[in-house]
Structure 1
């Protein structure tokens, strides 16, 4: 394709809420990490975290594709925000880790380390919550 020589309108989305096709038999729970497998399908919230997965954000609602095929339905994912997650007590972030990349330990918990590349990236650690002291704010973009 050649360069344009006239003004054009480029379509866009804000990217804060996206639809993700679900994996066959997946059940994703509202408020948990929205994870996709290596093929790009949304996976169940009970699936163990693995380095081959990607975190896109947080499930906006519960999505049940337990009777469907790959891509049979889609779930909405909220992203480009800071979300409040549990801090894994055995691999916890501290104040010194502010701004650091953190990792998915389970469907509602982050960890400081990737556990020898076994955990996918969750996002950036933005700080502690004053009310829920065992929780941290994580930016997912």
Structure 2
């Protein structure tokens, strides 16, 4: 219980820095996920979880140990490449979950549990799929 004023730190909840996994290169604009150890990897990497945001700059830890560098990640709504064939996302899918194919592509299905969530589909246009990530 406070008995005096407290300077309570605040975040806007859109920008975060995460330690990068060992021997990993994350490109700017890539969907980012965390591995089992809590280190950032490109989304869609084997063993990675759901997407947590988009890399704001390149993070090249290809020659380093886990946590040697951080990647700046932003949450929000971003446009990604649409999958193809039966996994193509359509306007009728707005409001549903998009799933990670790779660090730049999303799909309509989780491929029988093989894909992690990217976020919520908010729009589909001729260029790609707008997904709310994080």
TM-score normalized with structure 1 length: 0.84
TM-superposed deviation, 1:134: 4.0
CA distance, structure 2, for counterparts of residue 122 and residue 75 of structure 1: 18
Name the count of aligned residue pairs.
132
Matched, 1:97 2:120: no
Deviation string, structure 1 residues 96-121 (Cα, Å, up to 9, x no partner): 21111111011100001111111111
Gaps of 5+ in 1: none
Pairing 1:6-45 to 2, within 5 Å after superposition: 10-43=8-41, 45=42
Which digits, 9 at most, give the CA deviation of each residue in 1:17-73, with x for residues without a partner?
100001111100011101211111012x4x744464231111001100111111111
Which residue of structure 2 lines up, in the alignment, with residue 117 of structure 1?
Answer: 113
CA RMSD of aligned residues (A): 1.9
How far residue 9 of structure 1 moved from its aligned partner, in angstroms, is 5.0
CA distance in 1, matches of 2:105, 2:48: 18
In the other structure, the counterpart of 1:137 is: 130
TM-score where L is the length of structure 2:
0.88
8 Å Cα contact 2:18-2:40 kept in structure 1: yes
Q: Which structure has greater strand proportion?
A: 2
Mapped partners of 2:17, 2:133: distance in 1? 16
Segments of 5+ residues of structure 2 without an aligned counterpart are none
- Give secondary structure in 2 for the equivalent of 1:122: strand
Task: Give distance in 2, aligned partners of 1:119 and 1:53.
Answer: 9
